[in-house]
Amino acid sequence: MTAPVDVVVVGGGPAGLSAALNLVRARQRVLVLDGNRPRNAATLHSHGFLTRDGISPLELRRMGRDEVTSYADADVQFALVDSVTAVDGGFRVTASGVRGAPDRDVTTTRVLVAAGLRETLPAIGNLRAYYGTALHSCYECDGYEKAGEALGVIGETDDLVERALMVALWSDDIIAFTNGVATVTDDNERMLAARGIRVERRVVAEIVGDRGELTGLRLEDGEVVPRTAGFVRPRWTAALDYLGALGADTDEDGLLIVDAAGRTSIPGLYAAGDITPPGPEQLIVAAGEGAQVSATIIRDTVFAEARSI
Ligand SMILES: Cc1cc2nc3c(=O)[nH]c(=O)nc-3n(C[C@H](O)[C@H](O)[C@H](O)COP(=O)(O)OP(=O)(O)OC[C@H]3O[C@@H](n4cnc5c(N)ncnc54)[C@H](O)[C@@H]3O)c2cc1C
C-alpha cells in the first residue's frame, strides 16, 4: 500500500487487527505497524475465543493478518513504532522495520494505539522454562486445563489472595506463594485456609521439574514443595515512550486513559485492548474493543468532515 494513510494502527494483536478490519471495510486506508512480539507467544494454545478455542496464538494472528491484508487498502507491516508526533492536520509516525521489513515514515490523521503490555515475571529460577506450559498467568484462559492438579499460585502483589481464591474454582489443592514479597493479612490467611489454601511465605528460589514436567517449587532453604502446575502474577507495564511529547493522559498504572468509546485525551489519538484500563484481559475482549474503537474513529471522521464543509 503506497497511497496516503488514513489510520495508523500501532500493534497487530487482536485489538489492532480487529480495528483494522472494520476500518478498511469502512473504506479507510489503514496501515498496521506491528513489532510482532505477542505476549501470549509463550503459550501453545489460546482458549476462550469463540470458534477458535484452543488455537495457537500465532495462528490466530496470522489468520487475522490475512483477513486484513485481503483488502487492497490495508497493510500490515512488521515494524516497531519509534515516534508519534503531532504535525499540521494529524500525526507523523516513524517505525523501524523488524524481521527484514523496511522502516516507515508516514503521516496520517488518526492513530490507534493497540500495542498491548509488557510483562515482567518474578525473579525465580527456571520460571521462564515452564511459563506457557505448566505455569500460566491467566486463570480464565488456562484454569480448565489444570483442573484437579496440585497448583501453586505465585504472586508478589496484594491481589495474591484474590487470585488464589479464583484458582480454587479449578482445584482444591492450592498453595499461595508470596515469594517473600506479597502481603497476606491474618484475616486473609484465615479466609484462604477456610478454602483449604495454604500460604507459603518463604522465597521461591527455583522451579524444578523432570523431563519437562513441573514437579515442584524449591524454596530458598532448599525444601521442595511438590506442585505440578500453577499460576504466576507478572507485573505489567505499558511501553509508551514513542508517544513522547504528545502527553496523552495515563492512569496510575501507566495505561492509556480512554473514554467509553476509545478516545484518548489527544484528539485523533485512540487506544484499545490491554493497553487501556483495566489492563490485561482476554483475546476476545481486546478484539471487541478494537471493533468498538474503529466505529468511534469512523464516526468522528464522518462528523469532522461534515462540520468542515
Ligand atoms: C502467556 C499468555 C497466555 C494467554 N492466553 C490467553 C488465552 O488462552 N485466551 C485469551 O483470551 N487470552 C489469553 N491471553 C491474553 C491475551 O493474549 C491478551 O489479552 C491479548 O493478546 C491482548 O490483545 P492486544 O491486541 O491488546 O495486545 P497484544 O496481543 O499484546 O498485541 C500487541 C502487539 O503490539 C505490538 N507492539 C508493541 N509495541 C509496539 C510498537 N512500539 N510498535 C509496533 N508494535 C508494537 C506487540 O509486539 C504486539 O504484537 C494470554 C496472555 C499471555 C501473556
The answer as to whether 301 is a domain residue is: yes
Task: Please check whether residue 231 is in contact with residue 163, taking contact to mean a CB–CB distance below 8 angstroms.
Answer: yes
State the 10-residue block means of pLDDT for the chain, 309 residues long.
83 98 98 92 91 95 98 97 95 94 95 97 96 95 97 97 98 98 95 97 97 95 98 96 94 97 98 97 97 98 85
Closest residue by Cα to atom 38, ligand 1, is: 115
Beta-ladder partners of 74:
30
Ligand 1 centroid, distance to 80 Cα (angstroms): 15
Residues 6 or more apart whose CB falls under 8 angstroms from that of 58 comprise 38, 41
**pLDDT attached to residue 170:** 98
Cell triple for residue 82? Answer: 519509534
Residues 6 or more apart whose CB falls under 8 angstroms from that of 143 comprise 166, 167, 169, 170, 231
Cα–Cα distance, 126 to 139 (Å, whole number):
20
Q: Can you tell me which residue has the cell 502481603?
A: 183
The answer as to whether 90 is a domain residue is: yes
Ligand 1 centroid, distance to 308 Cα (angstroms): 37
Nearest atom in ligand 1 to 289's CA: 26
Nearest atom in ligand 1 to 239's CA: 38
If one counts every other C-beta atom within 10 angstroms of the C-beta of residue 90, the result is: 16
- Same domain for 110 and 256: yes
Calculate the CA 258 to chain-centre distance.
Answer: 17
**pLDDT attached to residue 2:** 52
Cell triple for residue 302? Answer: 464522518
H or E element in which residue 175 lies: strand 174-177
Q: Which of 170, 204, 232 finishes a domain?
A: 232
- Same domain for 247 and 115: yes
Residue 234's identity, in one-letter code, is P
- Same domain for 129 and 65: no
Q: Which of 187, 213, 232 finishes a domain?
A: 232
Longest dimension (CA), the chain: 74
The answer as to whether 243 is a domain residue is: yes
3-state helix, strand, coil in the chain (%, to 5): 30, 30, 40
Nearest atom in ligand 1 to 95's CA: 42
Task: Please check whether residue 91 is in contact with residue 266, taking contact to mean a CB–CB distance below 8 angstroms.
Answer: no
Cα–Cα distance, 190 to 197 (Å, whole number):
9
Beta-ladder partners of 151:
174, 229
**What is the total count of domains within the chain?**
2
**pLDDT attached to residue 3:** 61
H or E element in which residue 197 lies: strand 197-200
Closest residue by Cα to atom 37, ligand 1, is: 115
Cell triple for residue 128? Answer: 521462564
pTM score, whole prediction: 0.95
- Same domain for 147 and 55: no
Cell triple for residue 203? Answer: 522465597
What are the Cα distances from residue 36, in Å, to 1, 116, 309? Answer: 19, 11, 40
- Same domain for 263 and 184: no
What are the Cα distances from residue 96, in Å, to 86, 103, 204? Answer: 19, 4, 39
Residue range(s) defining the domain that contains residue 93: 7-119+235-308
Residue 152's identity, in one-letter code, is G
The answer as to whether 1 is a domain residue is: no
Probe target for ligand 1 pocket from 60, 137, 138, with the most ligand atoms within 8 Å of CB: 138
- Same domain for 74 and 62: yes
- Same domain for 206 and 69: no
**Pocket of ligand 1, beta carbon within 6 A:** 10-16, 33-40, 42-43, 46-49, 80-81, 114-116, 132, 137-138, 141, 239, 242, 273-274, 280-284, 286
Cα–Cα distance, 115 to 35 (Å, whole number):
9
**pLDDT attached to residue 283:** 97
The answer as to whether 226 is a domain residue is: yes
